[in-house]
Chains A and B, each alone.
Chain A
């Protein structure tokens, strides 16, 4: 039987069903083919069109028909080759003849499950509405009531402490005979690092291309070594290259261990050769972008580089299950992982878990509060990004970070431990570009530091994201900027030097913005962690929930 599709495009979706519609201007197009050569999805293709024009040029109706066949660009109506709106076509077009336009009436989710396979993508929750973080305002402007500070001229201490900070009475220190402090025999002082309060969160080698990852790493190192801004970066779960492990720069990095344990045998092999301790160790239990969804690096991304760094064979799917295989309860899981990782570096390195934002975060926190080796708790909220996840996990699962971090902080306050165990907030910081403001808001709600991921990809790599449905190709290996692909043809589009330069610019300016926020509040010598009286919101319910001021 003739396939129905032949008849009259029966059963094919219409362009109106697609999230982005290509607008192509015939009058401007030179048919140079740059757009079709670059389109990562092959969502557009050259095509032949026929035009039939009936003319009547006589003084009476005398019809003649003119037939014209011409070439042009056509959008493909194949769900698998949908236009992601990345805009590469308009980027390379010499004549502004082509651009994608978001189609808010699309019915994409009705179709994007061909073969019974649900929509998977990279990116972040598709929700362009302003986040709670963006709605928080800094309303305590103490120009005359407190010492007024000038961000431009005063010195600021925009640093935070990562690690467990014991209160003075619990520090195992004594005043010695020579009036100096001495540590008691066998006493344990938890390791603490002084870092910049905005960190680069966990994005693995594999999820990111080598050019992107190295660019970030170089930028972080530059910030530390040249600019004196102690920014640190988490490795993500994909191991670390031995060259970096053996370098003195490793102190700016936080190796992550997660349920896939990728790259950890390589790290352990390198341990004796390490000249510096890493900044900290992060144990990943969850990811805010996709709670309950594990990580998966597709086989085609597992090339030589990834295989060797992760210690796996080439061309196999690498699953990081959503749960660790040998952990059965909070007490057991957290205790044994923190112990193991602390031991690996002789208890000299802070070790902390990262969980996805959840209603049960306080249970984890209360457990950590009682664990003397726990150095912090990182909570990753729903607006975080990911390299690959089910759309449903991304769009519909997870907990917003603001109230989660607030609840945890207030819990610590109740226990009198708010200065002891740092909370690190992640997930959607800088989602709409307000990096420093979002970071400051979270700090004032109780976070000691924040992690950024997608923001830095956008800012430093030119990630083509917006909050509707744009690009999100990270999982396909077709990233048109070369950020999340292992294809050299694509990732060589990215100049690691430029990435690093942008990282430096981003953090330098974020530091200035943080000063601009903290100065009018008269804070320069320490971060206003938990200083929630400086915050207001014009939404009564948010104000009540976060226990902050309502202002309108």
Chain B
């Protein structure tokens, strides 16, 4: 239906109408039925847009200078032809209008356009076809540019088809302007002519398919007709190879491209190491594999490794026992039902365990016993007493070597015992007429049943030691003994009382002599007497007790300083009434006045004064070759003196406990044995195991347990010695511990290095502290 053309002028009465008025007039005209309009524009904004479809075509021809956004928000059915060039944003937010511009378009053509067509006879300005959309309900947007387009073309393009024909471009080297397609995510661009600098991270160039070519050749004809350039048809449709197609990368393609341009490892191998050398910049210094280690490692890469250090340490009891009695092994035997064997083992270390361990020893083993930290220590005194009725061990076959031992006290007897049991011929010389030394002669009988000592001395005599009792050794005798024996052991003790010089000191009795007299039955009658003892240490306390036993009225012990320790013997003496005074330094003793005076101006009544401040050895028989120092023989840790054939043990080397003399005797005997038999002496050097290595929590607390040998042995914590409990093997999560039985019935636990991660569980849970973690070097 042909209609007349409605002319709407942008100037009225010689002045320009506002964009608002022009728009209202256009809308009014169309509402009134106008379908062909001629707008004589004068720079008005947004001409021809927003004309909602009426089921028929509305044609608008625009003449004269147009404003921005011509055809903005244009709708389908609207056809606009501009007779010349256009200002910015032609077809802005186009929703279906067909816009033909018979000239150039400036910036922003089809910006945000979604549907419709833009035919441009010339070229486009900057930012054309930016933000274009594609709504699947409608046909896609088309933008056609005959020449070229300006910078930043198709930024954030999301849909629609752009065609840039590249005819007579302003820039012959690049028809798409500077940096096109930044942020483009959809749509298609067909372009003819050279392009450069497009956003390669957003789009890529592909060849035209036959479907593309079909679409292009089909749709280019109406375009060229519309812009009156049909004579270019042949040129533009000559060959698909004249054209390129730009499409956006898909989200999946973008995702796949995320990350680095070149994988780092490839960069290292192909660029880095090529320049700096194989193995990298530190390659010449590093000698380890260049692989990456996990946090949890096995084998050589572990930080720590467990080691089954069975019996690497001494149990605290053995380390504490000066005699070195293997208490733990003894307990282990008893635990295994071998009571007799266990007790006999003790005899191999001491000739009188019942006397010493059982009665006289302060039992350092028990003080050290780990079990004591839980409830009470293993009762070694009671265990020692059990050995009383054991027979003497059988000596080894004779070796033909001879040892002479001077002194029949604990040290000498211990050395003799050890040497005789090893098959050596032993001559024992004792000045007194009985064996036992001070144990026999000085220790008050009330401290223990004398029969026990006699029984043990008698057992000692069964092993074949040649006894020479009542034989004091002088210089000559020593030379003889020295000559006749392969080795000599001096164990003559310390029997010379220490004295102090003060007026009246000649009237003072020596404590040791007093005790010896008492033990012989020659003790003085002290009935009603006041006794003062100079010295307040252990032996002085024994003197005090004995003085009371002999009827003394009062006993006062004086000392220049406080006693080192108040032990059992202090307690016993004080229970009998002994007073201890200190500091008291004696000035004189007036026997006639029966008074002792002290430097502080005080005095005490004293019917008898006994001095008990220790004894020193009598060494008048020693040859020059044996060195002494401050009155004692100098020995090394084996008991050897400066004369390599002469050994010395016990109080003659320095005063000490009986058990120390026994230990010294045994160690000297072992060294002598090695020397005489030409073997190596291996002294015990193992340290005591630290207490915290023993896991007490495994054990039930038995606070008031009675002494029953088997139960007692069962309470031994087996410090430092594997009790074969399998805790480690069971605990190891990685199965890295195996138990291996030896051919001899023994066993060991071993680590499987390639399974072990060095976590330390085995070491932490081992009840006996056998497993240890070591630096894995």
Which of the segments B9-17, B271-279, B710-718 contacts the partner chain? B271-279
User: Closest CB-CB distance, B761 to chain A, in whole Å?
Assistant: 4
Residue contact B276 to A244, C-beta cutoff 8 Å: yes
Return chain B residues, CB-CB under 8 Å to A36: 759-761
Known contacts: A47-B764, A221-B272, A243-B281. The answer to whether A37 contacts B288 by CB under 8 A is no
User: Closest CB-CB distance, B321 to chain A, in whole Å?
Assistant: 19
Known contacts: A33-B759, A489-B301, A504-B260. The answer to whether A222 contacts B292 by CB under 8 A is no
Residue B79, interface by CB 8 Å: no
Q: How many angstroms from the CA of A218 to the CA of B264 in the assembled complex?
A: 9
User: Closest CB-CB distance, A510 to chain B, in whole Å?
Assistant: 15
| Residue ID in chain A nearest B730 by CB atoms | A71
Contact with B along A235-257 (1 / 0, CB 8 A): 00000010110011100000000
Which of the segments B332-340, B437-445, B535-543, B695-703 contacts the partner chain? B695-703
Return chain A residues, CB-CB under 8 Å to B691: 6
Return chain A residues, CB-CB under 8 Å to B303: 37, 489
Return chain A residues, CB-CB under 8 Å to B280: 214, 218, 243, 496
User: Closest CB-CB distance, A222 to chain B, in whole Å?
Assistant: 5
Residue contact A153 to B264, C-beta cutoff 8 Å: no
Known contacts: A210-B286, A496-B280. The answer to whether A31 contacts B292 by CB under 8 A is no
Contact with A along B734-777 (1 / 0, CB 8 A): 10000000000000000000000111110111000000000000
Q: How many angstroms from the CA of A225 to the CA of B266 in the assembled complex?
A: 13
Q: How many angstroms from the CA of A260 to the CA of B292 in the assembled complex?
A: 32
Residue A501, interface by CB 8 Å: yes
User: Closest CB-CB distance, B40 to chain A, in whole Å?
Assistant: 34
Residue contact B731 to A31, C-beta cutoff 8 Å: yes
Residue contact A247 to B276, C-beta cutoff 8 Å: yes
Residue contact B759 to A34, C-beta cutoff 8 Å: yes
Residue A516, interface by CB 8 Å: no
Return chain A residues, CB-CB under 8 Å to B262: 222, 226
Known contacts: A489-B303, A498-B264. The answer to whether A34 contacts B700 by CB under 8 A is no
Residue contact B276 to A243, C-beta cutoff 8 Å: yes
Q: How many angstroms from the CA of A49 to the CA of B433 in the assembled complex?
A: 60
Residue A46, interface by CB 8 Å: yes
User: Closest CB-CB distance, B152 to chain A, in whole Å?
Assistant: 8
| Residue ID in chain A nearest B290 by CB atoms | A492
Residue contact B283 to A226, C-beta cutoff 8 Å: no
Residue contact B260 to A37, C-beta cutoff 8 Å: no
The contact of B302 among A37, A71, A244, A497, by CB within 8 Å, is A37
Return chain B residues, CB-CB under 8 Å to A218: 264, 267-268, 272, 280
Residue contact B295 to A153, C-beta cutoff 8 Å: no
User: Closest CB-CB distance, B550 to chain A, in whole Å?
Assistant: 38
Known contacts: A37-B303, A152-B183. The answer to whether A88 contacts B295 by CB under 8 A is yes
User: Closest CB-CB distance, A101 to chain B, in whole Å?
Assistant: 21
Residue B135, interface by CB 8 Å: no
- Interface SS of B by simple majority: loop
Most chain B CB inside 10 Å of its own CB: which residue of A217, A309, A497, A501: A497
Residue A467, interface by CB 8 Å: no
Residue A92, interface by CB 8 Å: yes
Q: How many angstroms from the CA of A34 to the CA of B756 in the assembled complex?
A: 11
Residue A187, interface by CB 8 Å: no
Residue contact B267 to A222, C-beta cutoff 8 Å: yes
Residue contact A49 to B697, C-beta cutoff 8 Å: yes
Residue A32, interface by CB 8 Å: yes
Q: How many angstroms from the CA of A245 to the CA of B405 in the assembled complex?
A: 80
Return chain B residues, CB-CB under 8 Å to A225: 271
Residue contact A153 to B296, C-beta cutoff 8 Å: no
List B residues 291-348 near A (Cβ within 8 Å).
291-297, 301-304
Known contacts: A37-B760, A46-B759. The answer to whether A221 contacts B700 by CB under 8 A is no
Q: How many angstroms from the CA of A275 to the CA of B457 in the assembled complex?
A: 95
Return chain B residues, CB-CB under 8 Å to A67: 700
Residue contact B288 to A488, C-beta cutoff 8 Å: yes
Q: How many angstroms from the CA of A226 to the CA of B266 in the assembled complex?
A: 12
User: Closest CB-CB distance, A206 to chain B, in whole Å?
Assistant: 12
Q: How many angstroms from the CA of A348 to the CA of B370 in the assembled complex?
A: 75
Residue B261, interface by CB 8 Å: yes
Residue contact B268 to A46, C-beta cutoff 8 Å: no
Q: How many angstroms from the CA of A34 to the CA of B758 in the assembled complex?
A: 9
Return chain A residues, CB-CB under 8 Å to B302: 37
Residue contact B292 to A34, C-beta cutoff 8 Å: no
Known contacts: A241-B282, A308-B285. The answer to whether A493 contacts B292 by CB under 8 A is yes
Residue contact A495 to B296, C-beta cutoff 8 Å: no
Residue contact A69 to B697, C-beta cutoff 8 Å: yes
Q: How many angstroms from the CA of A309 to the CA of B182 in the assembled complex?
A: 48
Residue contact A46 to B293, C-beta cutoff 8 Å: no
Known contacts: A31-B761, A498-B264. The answer to whether A71 contacts B292 by CB under 8 A is no
Residue A30, interface by CB 8 Å: yes
Residue B50, interface by CB 8 Å: no
Return chain A residues, CB-CB under 8 Å to B261: 226-227
List B residues 721-737 near A (Cβ within 8 Å).
731, 733-734
Q: How many angstroms from the CA of A218 to the CA of B276 in the assembled complex?
A: 11
Residue A91, interface by CB 8 Å: yes
Q: How many angstroms from the CA of A244 to the CA of B284 in the assembled complex?
A: 12
User: Closest CB-CB distance, A248 to chain B, in whole Å?
Assistant: 6
Residue contact B268 to A243, C-beta cutoff 8 Å: no
Residue contact B288 to A33, C-beta cutoff 8 Å: no
Q: How many angstroms from the CA of A247 to the CA of B289 in the assembled complex?
A: 24
Residue B155, interface by CB 8 Å: yes
Most chain B CB inside 10 Å of its own CB: which residue of A6, A48, A88: A48
User: Closest CB-CB distance, B447 to chain A, in whole Å?
Assistant: 28
Return chain A residues, CB-CB under 8 Å to B272: 218, 221, 249
Return chain B residues, CB-CB under 8 Å to A161: none
User: Closest CB-CB distance, B21 to chain A, in whole Å?
Assistant: 28
User: Closest CB-CB distance, A490 to chain B, in whole Å?
Assistant: 8
List A residues 178-228 near B (Cβ within 8 Å).
210, 214, 217-218, 221-222, 225-227
| Residue ID in chain A nearest B731 by CB atoms | A71
User: Closest CB-CB distance, A178 to chain B, in whole Å?
Assistant: 28
Return chain B residues, CB-CB under 8 Å to A217: 281
Residue B654, interface by CB 8 Å: no
Residue contact B765 to A34, C-beta cutoff 8 Å: no
| Residue ID in chain B nearest A155 by CB atoms | B179
Q: How many angstroms from the CA of A137 to the CA of B275 in the assembled complex?
A: 44
Residue contact B275 to A494, C-beta cutoff 8 Å: no
Residue A305, interface by CB 8 Å: yes
Residue contact B296 to A38, C-beta cutoff 8 Å: yes
Residue B265, interface by CB 8 Å: yes
Return chain A residues, CB-CB under 8 Å to B764: 45-48, 71
Known contacts: A37-B758, A48-B764, A210-B282. The answer to whether A32 contacts B734 by CB under 8 A is yes
User: Closest CB-CB distance, B465 to chain A, in whole Å?
Assistant: 42
Contact with B along A144-166 (1 / 0, CB 8 A): 00000000110100000000000
The contact of B765 among A46, A249, A488, A496, by CB within 8 Å, is A46
Residue A28, interface by CB 8 Å: no
Return chain A residues, CB-CB under 8 Å to B155: 153
Q: How many angstroms from the CA of A227 to the CA of B262 in the assembled complex?
A: 10
Residue A500, interface by CB 8 Å: yes
Q: How many angstroms from the CA of A496 to the CA of B265 in the assembled complex?
A: 9
Q: How many angstroms from the CA of A550 to the CA of B288 in the assembled complex?
A: 57
| Residue ID in chain A nearest B261 by CB atoms | A226
Known contacts: A48-B695, A489-B301, A500-B268. The answer to whether A33 contacts B757 by CB under 8 A is yes
List B residues 669-718 near A (Cβ within 8 Å).
691, 695, 697-698, 700
The contact of B285 among A31, A32, A69, A309, by CB within 8 Å, is A309
Task: List 14 extra interface pairs beyond A48-B695, A218-B268, CB under 8 A.
Answer: A34-B759, A45-B760, A48-B697, A69-B698, A152-B182, A153-B183, A218-B264, A218-B272, A241-B281, A241-B285, A243-B281, A249-B276, A496-B268, A497-B268
**Among all A-B residue pairs, the 8 with the closest Cβ atoms:** A33-B759, A46-B764, A305-B285, A50-B697, A37-B759, A492-B293, A32-B733, A241-B281
Residues of chain A at the chain B interface (Cβ within 8 Å) = 6, 30-38, 45-50, 67, 69, 71, 88, 91-92, 152-153, 155, 210, 214, 217-218, 221-222, 225-227, 241, 243-244, 247-249, 304-305, 308-309, 480, 488-489, 492-498, 500-501, 504-505
